[in-house]
Structures are given as structure tokens and as C-alpha cells.
Structure 1
Amino acid sequence: MSDSVTDRTYREVMTVDPPPVSTPFEQATRDFVFGQVWSRPGLSRRDRRLVTLTCVAAADAPQPIDDHVYAALGSGDLTLPELLEFVLHFAVYCGWPKASHVEGVIRRQWARLQTERDEPVTPWPALDNATLGPNDWDARLERGVKEFIDVNLLPAPPPDTPYTHAGILSYVFGHLWQRPGLTRRDRRVITVACVAIDDSPMPLQTHVGSALGSGDITKPEMDEIALHFSVYYGFAKGEALQASADAGWARLQS
């Protein structure tokens, strides 16, 4: 790929001019990450942003988090409400402390964008209590069981521990997966990246398999997710994600 096309891809993704290259790492970043990976067909740029944001947030990488949040907002690929919803979903699968940092970055980068565009400071999005879902706990658990089955394509676990009762069935599937703001497919992309980061064999198998089994993510798309994930979180973990995708697809074909 020519330098001009590579540089154009960098500008489109990062929304700034590419920096000068002075090290082998910087050259590989330009040529491989932007010249070959971000420019590949098979996965939308928005999907690649969700994978990238998950990886840089989990890696506690301050500058990449700043840069990719700024680019996601500046490009319009993700709206402010979508990015805030991403933070909540990420918090569940990678932890509240990491998510807290990302939300702070979003506030700063949103203010930066408005300043650079000479736009008036807009109010932070108002939240509607209706998005919190029912406060009837029995109804919420019932919804959680149904959503667990719909998402994972597996029977729901019994609500016999705080983890499954208050956590998995009441909150994660009784509320989080049903929130507006992101599609189920969006949530699958984020979750697959999170469980691959977390070295969680059973959740990895479950979420990759159900993403493929539901048809929300095709096998070629999952293969692209594995490659993109490998770039931002390492090829060793990416190999495990690819192996899970291959095994899950083989089970579906058998």
C-alpha cells in the first residue's frame, strides 16, 4: 500500500495527521496497523473502534485511550451517548476502575472537540430513569433469565449465589444487555474482546459461540475481530480468540 493511501487511512481513523516516523515501531504502526489492518474489508470501522477502545482501555494505556476516544468522537463513528454506554458495558466485563478512567477521558476529549470546533459547550446527555428498567425484582429476574438464554443460547444458571442472583441474572442480563444505546451486536463485539482479554475460557467459548450461533457476527467478521484484537492486545491472546472462533464454528457445522 502506498504511503499516500496509508497516510489517508491514518487520517481517517485518528482524525489527525500522521506523526513523523523515526523508529521501527512507528514504521510498523503506520505500515501494518493502519496500512493493512484498519484498511481491511470485512469489518466496519465502527466495529474496529469498539474492539480498539476495549483493548486500549483494558491495557491502561493513557495516550492511546485519549487518542482513540478523541478519534471515535471526532469521526462521528460513535456518538457521545454510545460511547458512554460502551463504558458501562466495558465496566461489567473488565471492571469499574478501568471504566471510570475511560469515562473521565470521554469528558475531557468531548470538551476538547467542542473547543477546537469553536462550538458552545453542550449539556451532558440527560438520563431517563426509564432506562433503568423495572424495579419489580421478580420481573427483573424473569427478564434476566430470558435475556441470558437469548444472548448465550444456553440455559440460565440457578439464582443460588450472589454472583448469579444479583450479578448475572438481575443486573448483567436483567438490565445491562437490555439497555438502549447499543445494539446487541455492538455488545457482542465489546464482550468478545473483553472475555478474550480476561483469559476466561468458559465465557470466551460461550460468547464467541453464541455470537456465531445467533448470526449476529459472521465467521469472517469474527476472524477479522481476532486479527484486529491481536494488533491491540497481542497475538498470543488473539490466538486463543481465533481458536475459540474456529472451534465454535466447527461445532455449529457438525
Structure 2
Amino acid sequence: MAMLDPAQRRAQGAKLQAEYTATEVAPATTPVGESWRDFIFAEIWSRPGLELRARFLISLASAAGAGDPRAVNAYARGALQTGTLSQVELREAALHVAVYSGWSAGRLIDEEVGNAIGELGLDPVETEPLVGKPWDPQERMERGFAEFNNVMTFDGPRVGNGFAYLQDGILNFVFGEMWHREGLDQRSRRFLTLVGVADSAANTPIRSHFHAAMGSGNCTAEELHEFVLQYGVHAGWPKASVVQGVIFEVAAKIEKGLPWDG
């Protein structure tokens, strides 16, 4: 049985905390402060199961969902300083989080990304406008239907269904526009989405999106098990426990080649 050294854990945690938040971290003087350094950064952020990019995205979204601007700012600084995420990618992440966690959460990320850019003395980078030219509504809806199938691995609401949320929200904007934007790749968008549906505690979105994450090939079951641990930092262990159960269930279906069945 290996014996672990508390001093080594403290040193590892302090190093990673400073690097991944681009901040001079004050010495920890309370159990909570020590746990940030010695457990979250020393043990979770150092794990090999997810790339650093994914850990930043999960942490940004879940910290925003928890309403923690200090943490969002720290992760934005760290992502920029390490070169893990660009300004454009962070702005795009804010938009994606707005859809799945609410526009207040998206605005929180957007504002703290702006603050981080200023604090690091970076020149702001322009992002692409939401829409740069006129579009045909029918084509946009059809594109949204096709993209829904691509992302979710099953057919979504039908074009022309006439329901405001399903047609104008889901087909028109979410899949007809946002998922098509080039600022983030699909795997990155996937992690942001998983945080949003996990925070929602809504049974069908949680199961369908985690099934789609594996069914699309964006994430493996092993990576999603790692997601749960990273997500639990801001969401808390009870919400993470629900997600863990879903992953066990969905992974078994994927292994058997079963499609999403609702």
C-alpha cells in the first residue's frame, strides 16, 4: 500500500491552482481553502481521464450554473493564460451556456471573460455576429432538423410543427443557428450542454443528452465517468450522483447498440 505525502499534495495543488486560475493564490487557512488546493486542484485537475480543455469547459459552465463569478473569472483567466481556450472560444462558450443554463448564466461567463481579458492585458478579439446575412426561414428550420439528428442521434421536432418552443426555439435557434457556429467544435459544445442538462435535474434531457454524447462518438463512457467528478465540484455530490447513475444506465444501452428510446 503506497503512502501519500501531505506536503507533496499541498505543493501539487498550489502549483496547479496558481497555473489554472492565473492567480496568485493566498495560503489556505481554513478546511475549505485547503480542500480547493489539496483535493480539487491536486487530485481532480491532475487526473488523466479528461484533457485540460474539457476540464475548463465543464468548470466554467458548472461555476456559472452555481452563480460563482469569482470561480468563472479564475477559470477564464486560466484558460486564456495557458492558451487552452481562445477569446473566441470563451465567448462562444458563453453563448452555448446561455441556451442550456439560461441567459443569466451565459451573461455571467461573458462578463467575466471580458474582465479576465482586461486583467491579463490582452487585446480584445472580435467575434462573428450571430447572423451576417439574410436567411430563408424554411431552409434554416430544415437545417435545424438535420443538425438535431446529427447532435442527438435521433429525429427531433418536425419542421412546421407550429409550437413556439419546439419550432422557433429548438429548430430555429438552438440547432438551426447555434450548433452550426464555428467558434467551438462539437465535443466542446457537448460538455457545456451536459452541464446544463445535469443542472436542470430534468430526467429526459439528462438521459437523452448523455446517450447522444456516447452515441455520437463525442465522449466515451470512461470520459463521462470523469466528467461526473469534475462536474461535482460546483454542482455538489447529490447532482453528480444522479448523473453517475444515468451514465451507468446509458453506457449499458450503448454497449448493446440500443438507440435512444425516450
2:45 aligned to which of 24, 30, 38: 38
Give 1:123 deviation, angstroms: 4.8
Residue 145 and residue 126 in structure 1: after superposition, are their counterparts in 2 closer, same or farther (change >3 A)?
closer
Residue 27 and residue 126 in structure 1: after superposition, are their counterparts in 2 closer, same or farther (change >3 A)?
closer
Equivalent in the alignment of 1:127: 128
Cα distance per residue 1:177-229 (max 9 Å; x no partner): 11101001111111001100111211111110011111110111101001110
Equivalent in the alignment of 1:155: 155
Give 1:102 deviation, angstroms: 2.2
Give 1:59 deviation, angstroms: 1.0
Give 1:15 deviation, angstroms: 2.2
- Which runs of 5 or more residues in structure 2 are unaligned? 257-262
Give 1:134 deviation, angstroms: 6.3
Residue 225 and residue 136 in structure 1: after superposition, are their counterparts in 2 closer, same or farther (change >3 A)?
same
Paired residue secondary structure (1:135) = coil
Give 1:112 deviation, angstroms: 1.3
- Which runs of 5 or more residues in structure 1 are unaligned? none
Q: What amino acid maps onto 2:95 in structure 1? A: L
Equivalent in the alignment of 1:13: 20
Give 1:126 deviation, angstroms: 4.7
Give 1:12 deviation, angstroms: 2.4
| Equivalent runs, 1:67-216 vs 2, <5 Å | 67-114=74-121, 122-127=123-128, 135-158=135-158, 159-216=161-218
Q: What amino acid maps onto 1:135 in structure 2? A: W
Give 1:128 deviation, angstroms: 5.1
Distance in structure 1 (CA, Å) of the matches to 2:99 and 2:133: 17
Residue 240 and residue 126 in structure 1: after superposition, are their counterparts in 2 closer, same or farther (change >3 A)?
closer
Cα distance per residue 1:140-190 (max 9 Å; x no partner): 111111111111111212333101110101111111111101001111111
2:223 aligned to which of 212, 221, 224: 221
**Are 2:62 and 1:61 equivalent residues in the alignment?**
no
Paired residue secondary structure (2:120) = helix
Distance in structure 2 (CA, Å) of the matches to 1:99 and 1:43: 23
Residue 126 and residue 172 in structure 1: after superposition, are their counterparts in 2 closer, same or farther (change >3 A)?
closer
Q: What amino acid maps onto 1:144 in structure 2? A: G
% identical equivalent positions: 32
Equivalent in the alignment of 2:259: none
- Using the TM superposition, name which of 10-19 and 232-241 deviates more: 10-19
Distance in structure 1 (CA, Å) of the matches to 2:127 and 2:196: 28
Preserved contact between residue 133 and residue 175 of structure 1 (Cα < 8 Å): no
Distance in structure 2 (CA, Å) of the matches to 1:219 and 1:102: 28
Distance in structure 2 (CA, Å) of the matches to 1:243 and 1:4: 34
Residue 84 and residue 253 in structure 1: after superposition, are their counterparts in 2 closer, same or farther (change >3 A)?
same
Give 1:242 deviation, angstroms: 1.0
Equivalent in the alignment of 1:253: 255
Distance in structure 2 (CA, Å) of the matches to 1:182 and 1:49: 14
Structure 1 stretches (4+) deviating beyond 4 angstroms?
131-134
Count of aligned residue pairs for this structure pair: 247
Preserved contact between residue 199 and residue 239 of structure 2 (Cα < 8 Å): yes
Distance in structure 2 (CA, Å) of the matches to 1:132 and 1:39: 41
Q: What amino acid maps onto 1:142 in structure 2? A: E
Cα distance per residue 1:90-122 (max 9 Å; x no partner): 0011111222232122212211111xxxx6xx3
Give 1:5 deviation, angstroms: 2.3
State the TM-score, normalizing by the size of structure 1. 0.92
